[in-house]
Homo-oligomer: A and B are copies of this chain.
Amino acid sequence: MGLKLRTVPGGTITSPRGFQAGAAFAGMKTLGEDRRDLAILYSETPCTATGVFTSTKIKAAPVVISQKHLAKGCAQAIVANSGRSNAFTGEQGLEDAAEMAALTAAKLGLGPGEVLVASTGVTGVRLDMETIGAAIKGLTLSRQGGHDMAQAITTTDTFTKEEAIAFELGGREVTVGGIAKGAGMIHPDLCTLLCFLTTDAAVDGDFLRKAFRRVMAVSFNMLTIDGDTSPNDTVVLLANGVAGNDPIRGGVGAEAFQRALEGVCIHLAKCIARDGEGATKLIEVTVEGALTEQEARMAARTVASSPLVKTAVYGADPNWGRILAAVGRSGAEVVESKIDLFFDDICLLKGGTPLPFSREEARAVLSRTEVPIRIYLNLGTAKGTAWGCDLTEEYIRLNSAYTT
């Protein structure tokens, strides 16, 4: 029996102690009325840090700078902007991203290498360094600033994504918090995934990196909106140790910490799927009985990202053949005659044989705002869950609009 976790009401990135955040206007967010588009996260003490970035070979400038700064395994602040992504901006873009870090470091009395940088928005356009400089200078930080930062990094997101989970460890309360932005765009462009995570736990650096990688594999790596990858994708975790616990390395503390981090990340990933461009529904695909976890995850991801599955769910069409087709081409080992398939608790296929089912009941499941699809391969014991969203006319409308 592990330690008991609790969700922090109104929890966000500044729920863990010793973190401050704030947001300001730099005027690059061209969507609607003027909204804050620049934010800073600051830890009052140095942090052990780790992160994962876009796998694309053409990385946006802020990703290049952040990877460089993060190489030493520590950081103390993050500066992020929305409106322009500083991607495909060449040498100038790298200078601008480095300057964002330097300006933030100067404000906070840190070395530039202690500051990470993240951007989201239109590509191929230089940042306005004058307004960014002024915004950084004028920005006010506070221990309640997490929500403002969550707001500032959104683009066409329809709601902010925030979460915090706490537990008690040796008499100390430890909290993990996070914010994310997802499938939004400024004048339809790439959906960037940005996620910033904090914890006041003292955590051994090696364990932190391992736990982070394990959690990524079952959370953000299992999230699919439309199969495109942004050059700006960034997930970063800062641990400042302010909780004063004995550094977490193993045992019940490590187990609880990983569960808390997983809880925060899966919550944020599901929020991003639910808020996918044009989406009306969250699709949760669970594959059980695979030979390996990797195969279970591949199969779940392939189903969740199939345009034919996504459009069928949009239309509440119980066209289960599309799900079977996606499983079959996923690369996972499957035997048709062993597969069971469910929409929630409605069985459509048992041992590869179609069962009679009530179309009305099946359509009722597919009409929910959360659609659970469950697939049993019955070959092994491995399991994986992926999250996606339906594909709608609104996705097309959002993404076919002109950049000017």
* Cross-interface CB contact of A90 among B124, B325, B352, B393, cutoff 8 Å: B352
Q: Counting CB contacts under 8 A, is A239 at the interface?
A: no
Is A328 touching B231 in the complex (CB atoms < 8 A)? yes
Is A312 touching B400 in the complex (CB atoms < 8 A)? yes
Is A401 touching B315 in the complex (CB atoms < 8 A)? yes
**B-contacting residues, A311-332, CB 8 Å:** 311-312, 314-322, 324-329, 332
Using C-beta atoms within 8 Å of the partner chain, give the interface range for chain A.
Answer: 35 or more
What copy number does this chain have within its complex?
A: 2
Is B402 touching A329 in the complex (CB atoms < 8 A)? no
Q: Counting CB contacts under 8 A, is A226 at the interface?
A: yes
Chain A contacts to B: CB under 8 angstroms: 54-59, 87-88, 90, 122-124, 188-190, 226-231, 306-308, 311-312, 314-322, 324-329, 332-334, 336-337, 349, 352-354, 359, 391-393, 395-397, 399-404
Q: A319 — which chain B residues lie within 8 A by C-beta?
A: 188-189, 403
CA distance A124 to B315 in the complex (A): 19
* Cross-interface CB contact of A318 among B336, B353, B403, cutoff 8 Å: B403
- Offer 29 A-B interface pairs, CB within 8 angstroms, sorted by A: A55-B329, A57-B332, A57-B333, A58-B334, A88-B324, A90-B352, A90-B353, A123-B321, A123-B322, A188-B312, A188-B319, A228-B307, A228-B322, A228-B325, A229-B325, A229-B328, A229-B329, A307-B307, A307-B399, A311-B399, A312-B399, A314-B400, A315-B399, A315-B402, A317-B401, A317-B402, A319-B403, A359-B404, A393-B397
**Shortest beta-carbon contacts, A-B, top 5:** A315-B400, A123-B321, A58-B328, A311-B399, A56-B328
* Cross-interface CB contact of A231 among B57, B228, B325, cutoff 8 Å: B325
Interface centre among A321, A403, A404 (most CB of B within 10 A): A321
* Cross-interface CB contact of A317 among B227, B314, B359, B403, cutoff 8 Å: B403
Across the interface, name the chain B residue whose C-beta is closest to A316.
B402
* Cross-interface CB contact of A391 among B318, B325, B353, B396, cutoff 8 Å: B396
CA distance A56 to B329 in the complex (A): 4
Q: A314 — which chain B residues lie within 8 A by C-beta?
A: 396, 400
Q: Chain A's interface: helix, strand, loop or mixed, by majority?
A: loop
CA distance A319 to B121 in the complex (A): 13
CA distance A88 to B329 in the complex (A): 14
Across the interface, name the chain B residue whose C-beta is closest to A311.
B399
Further 15 A-B residue pairs, CB within 8 A, beyond A226-B307, A229-B329: A56-B328, A58-B324, A58-B334, A88-B324, A123-B324, A124-B321, A188-B317, A188-B319, A189-B321, A311-B399, A315-B402, A317-B403, A393-B393, A395-B396, A396-B396
Q: A55 — which chain B residues lie within 8 A by C-beta?
A: 329
Is A228 touching B396 in the complex (CB atoms < 8 A)? no
Across the interface, name the chain B residue whose C-beta is closest to A226.
B307
CA distance A344 to B43 in the complex (A): 51
CA distance A306 to B401 in the complex (A): 16
